[in-house]
Structure formats: C-alpha cells, structure tokens
Amino acid sequence: MRSLFSNWRAGRPVVLLAVCLSLVMFTVGCGKVREGEGVIRGMEEYVYGYSLVMMDVTRAVMTATPNSGEYSAPINQFARLRTVVSPDFKNVVRISVNSLWTHGFLDLQKEPMIVTLPDTNGRYIVMQAMNMWTDDFASVGTRTPATNAGNYLIAGPSWNGTAPPDVKAVFRCSTRYAWVLVQISAGGPEDYPAIHKLQDQIQAIPLSSWGKPYTPPRNVPVDPTADITATPYDQVRLMTGEMFFKRLAALLKDNPPYPDDTKAVEGLKKIGIESGKDFDASKLDADTLKGINKAPGVVWLKFAQGVYEAPTVNGWVSILNVGRFGTDYQTRALIAWMGLGALTSDDCVYPSAFLDSDGKVLDGAQKYIMHFEKNGVPPSHVGVWSISPYRENFYVHNPIERYGLLSGMPLKYNADGSLDVYIQAKSPGPDKEVNWLPCPPSGPFNLTIRVYQPKKELLDGTYKLPPVKKVQQ
C-alpha cells in the first residue's frame, strides 16, 4: 500500500515545499528561506529518529521504579499485568486487551540476559523482542512450536561468548537496550488464575547468574532524571525540535544507525548531529533553528491527518510491514506514534478504521454496526481476534468497562451463522449487549482489529473486513 504520508515524495513533503516557496516569494531576505529549509530538514530527520526517541522515553518511564509491579519494573526485570490493561494507563498507546502482558526492558551492555518461557499447554502465547529502533529481532511462541517453551539468550551487539547448552536459541539485538513483551491470551477473568501461574514462570536472568540461585534485586535505585509526571506520548509531543535532536544525538551513541541509513545520517549532519557527538544548537543560525523547532508540530499534525487520508479497503487501513521497517522511516514513525510495540504480520495484523462506510469520521454520537457473514470473522490460525475502540490512541472509560470485543467471549451469532457487532456509546438493549462494543461518547473515535497468526487470505487481501456502517436513528 502507499505510505500513510501519501503526499511526501522522496522524503520531502510537498506541502512543506510549497510553504517554503511561499516564504521565498513573499519575504525579502534569506532568513525565511533558511527557516523553511530548517522546517523541511527537521521534519525529515524528526521522522527518522522518532521511533528511537519514543522508545527511549518509554524505557525511562517504564523502568523508573525500585521494584517490579504490573506496569513497570527496573531494568532487567519483568512487570506482570494481572488483569487486562486499565484505560487509565497511558504510558504505552493502544495496548491489546486480548492478553495479559509480561514485559520489561533489558540492558545488554555488560552481558546477555536469558529469558525463560513456560509451556502454556495450548494457550496462545507470543514473545517478541524489539531493538530501540522498534524493529523486532525475535518472535517465539505458539506460532513456532519448535521454539516455544524454553530458554532464550538475548545478546547485545558486542557479545562474543558461547550460550549455555540448555538455551534453545540466541537472539542478537543491535542496540544496547531491548524491549521484551510476552502476551498470553485471555478470554476473560476466569482465565486469569491460570495465566498468573504461567506469568510467574517467565524470568529474565543475567548470563553470569545462569545455573545458580537467582532472585531479582529489590529496591533498585531509580534514575533521578526520569520524568514520570507525564506520559512518554506527551513528553515527546511537547519536545521542541532542539530538545528532540539533543536527545536523539545522545541516543545514537548506544543505538547506531543501520548501514542503509546513509542518507538519513547525512541529513542529520546538515543540522549538526553526528553519531557520538552532542548536539550543540548554538552552532546553527537562528533562522534554521527556528525552522527546526517548528518541525515537530508539523509532523504530529501529519501523523493525525495521515490516518484519515490513507488508502482503505471497506474503510480499513492496513499496514503489513510492521516491525521490519528497513528504510521506511515514515511507517516506522507512524507505528511508534499509534502502536508502539506492534508485532510483525507473522504474529498479528492491526487493521484500523477512522471513517465509516460513507467516508465520514467515526463519531461517538452515532450508532454503528459491523456485519460479518457466516464464517466471515477475521481468519486466524489460532482463532484469536478482537475489535477495540480508541479516542486518538487511548481507551476511554465506558459504563461496562469493556474495551474490546474478543473472539473468546460468548458472542451471540445470528440464526444463519452471521455475526453483528454493535458499536455505540449507549447500550443497544439487553438482547444485544453481549455483542456491544462501547465507544467513546460524542466526538471522533477509531477502531483497531487485531488478528493473531492471521491466515494467508488476510495478508494477501483476499479476505476483506466488513465496513463500519452508520445506523439510521
């Protein structure tokens, strides 16, 4: 599919070029020209570095705790959500309510970590490991029966040792830090006790402690520079260009660009950023710096607009190259903005709808229906799928505290085997509530469908999701 940034060409946004030309035509002097060029260059490099900065801010916030809990844990330890995510948790966008999560950031600078996964006896599980550029470098679980339960060594870029014999596989991370996320599917609260026992078996142990009694340290010192007063989403959103690029320059020391990033690296040099060196904004002229500081706001506006302008099938936007981005920096940045931590399409796809079947913005003041024909639910090898509603990128409290309609729920099918899903803010009535997906009341919202281990027909476009149709009131 075309990029969600459909009016960007060769990394240069057409709309911003027009703005720059206007500045040249209507402003005397070269200051505004430099400012316009600063905006364009800043946008390009902001998009390139966005995923890395967002991951680092997330790492800082999620590890700013002395002991492991549900939502955060010190470095090299796991946090374990004992229920599905609360809508009040906003440190990560669009978390699935299909699963109970076990997650943690690993520091691989000194030595590798060994992660142990349990045998789930058929319950769906997937473990992914991401580097700081948000590329997945490991995925094991139900989809990979030969490497399902067992021990996995995760090593940083400089490790040259030998793995213990009881390690099933070695995964290499190209950056100092890795983010490991484990999902175990849950149909409802009745599944939680069994999942808790499985979660407690998920461990992260330093290689030097492997084979010895090991207890994760408690009362770990917390990084005093970590800001836990604002979500990572808001922290990055509020950064000026100067703040953003200062952090990016520092991060490049531990998170080197890929060999194919040559053009992006050259672009960074043009605004004073070189790998291994601090960013000194004072070396830029005032007009260029002014342009760079305008760039983040324009990119965030483009994020928000892009999802509404993207090509759709029955109103659904689908992005398949998640977690294996290569030099597609625009998609990488967009996914970090709206779905940080997304799995690759081998494990899950995430079609999203922002418009109804008439091309109008989904509005909580309206009522909608999705009609799946007989045998027409999303095709999955493991039968696990869900539909969730969001305001922007977050859940909103609703009367029945339901944030996803899940395949594991006792959904009510029609006599002909079809399925109707009712998407609205208020109850559709007692006889339909089992199929009710509450949406945020009044105002724009959007939907994401998750399909785990999708079948071929979903990946190649043969299967098409039904449109979201407005119900006439």
Are 301 and 204 in the same domain? no
* 14 band by pLDDT with thresholds 50, 70 and 90: very low
Q: How far, in Å, CA of 14 to CA of 297, rounded?
A: 16
Q: How far, in Å, CA of 189 to CA of 386, rounded?
A: 16
Q: What does the pLDDT read at residue 473? A: 73
Of 179, 209, 239, the domain-final residue: 209
Q: What is the pLDDT of residues 405-445, one digit of tens each?
A: 999 999 999 999 999 999 999 999 999 999 999 999 999 99
Q: How far, in Å, CA of 11 to CA of 4, rounded?
A: 13
Are 86 and 45 in the same domain? no
pLDDT averaged over every residue in the chain: 92
Q: Can you say how many angstroms the Cα of residue 452 is from the centroid of all Cα atoms in its chain?
A: 15
Are 178 and 51 in the same domain? no
Domain count, the chain: 3
Are 73 and 170 in the same domain? yes
The enclosing H or E element of 303 equals helix 286-309
| Average pLDDT over every residue of 115-128 | 96
Are 205 and 71 in the same domain? yes
Residue 178 lies in a domain: yes
Residue 345 lies in a domain: no
Q: What is the pLDDT of residues 301-344, one digit of tens each?
A: 999 998 998 899 999 999 988 999 999 999 999 999 999 999 99
Global confidence as pTM: 0.92
Q: What does the pLDDT read at residue 4? A: 45
Residues in the chain: 473
Residue 439's domain is classified under what CATH number? 2.60.120.600
For residue 203, pLDDT over 80 is answered with: yes
Are 99 and 135 in the same domain? yes
Residue 343 lies in a domain: no
Residue 104 lies in a domain: yes
Residue 125's domain is classified under what CATH number? 2.60.40.1610
Are 99 and 202 in the same domain? yes
Are 74 and 202 in the same domain? yes
Residue 326 lies in a domain: no
Of 209, 237, 265, the domain-final residue: 209
Q: What is the pLDDT of residues 204-237, one digit of tens each?
A: 999 999 999 999 999 999 999 999 999 999 999 9
Q: What is the pLDDT of residues 384-394, one digit of tens each?
A: 999 999 999 99
Residue 320 lies in a domain: no
Are 43 and 108 in the same domain? no
Of 209, 240, 270, the domain-final residue: 209
Q: What is the pLDDT of residues 339-384, one digit of tens each?
A: 999 999 999 999 999 999 999 999 999 999 999 999 999 999 999 9
Are 298 and 271 in the same domain? yes
Are 76 and 44 in the same domain? no
Q: What does the pLDDT read at residue 33? A: 77
β-partners of residue 151 are 116
Are 245 and 304 in the same domain? yes
Tell me which residue range forms the domain holding 148: 67-209
DSSP 8-state symbol, 469: E
* 259 band by pLDDT with thresholds 50, 70 and 90: very high
DSSP E strands in 60-186: the ranges are 79-80, 99-107, 113-117, 125-130, 136-141, 150-155, 169-172, 177-185
